[in-house]
Amino acid sequence: EAAAGAEDAEGKSAEGGDEEAWEYVEFLKADVNAKVEVILQKTLYEAREKKGLTVLEETVGKTLEQVMEIRESLLKRIKKIRKGEIQIDPEQNIKQEEMLSEFRMEIMTILLKLVDRDATSIDKLKEISQDLLRFKMTISNEVMRMLMLPQATSGKKQQPTGDCSECDALKDISFKIENLVACADK
């Protein structure tokens, strides 16, 4: 039974598509968005409070380190998908690997700006902050896309179980309303 629970956690259950989408959303929120939030709210914001000659260099260094962590998280997830450790349901149209690769490219662009020689200027740090905000918005949009995807269906529509008294009552009401409308038209 523990093995079955582990399979469910990996997204390999009968409802694998829903599991995949949910795990993907959790990954984006916890391993990407939360880390970007820390960079924006702590590292870059607190740099404003500090004084001294090395503040910009320290801020760039710490930001670089944190952006590298995000890149690593993205790379690990892509690798797990490619190795089959994270089950993918192509019918769900989640496109996890494709989107994660795009996110990785965006992070690489930010990293390139951080290792640039003039990264330690206030203007460059503002630009990097804007890039991180845009990246955070992109991640939020992806989470929203996941939430808007239709739920996975297990093939056939489920037939209602039990008696059809509710259905019969609705049919009766519908019939009466149709007759009233027909009568009103005369």
How would you write the pLDDT of the chain (186 residues) with one tens digit per residue? Answer: 334 444 444 334 434 457 888 899 999 999 999 999 999 898 888 877 777 778 888 888 999 999 999 999 999 999 999 999 988 888 888 889 999 999 999 999 999 999 988 888 888 888 999 999 999 999 999 999 888 887 765 554 455 566 666 677 778 787 888 887 788 777
Q: What pTM did the predictor assign?
A: 0.69
CA distances from 180 to 50, 115, 170, 173, 185 (A): 77, 76, 15, 11, 9
Helices (H), ranges, the chain: 2-10, 16-27, 34-38, 45-47, 55-83, 96-115, 122-148, 165-185
In 10 A of CB 93, how many CB atoms? 11
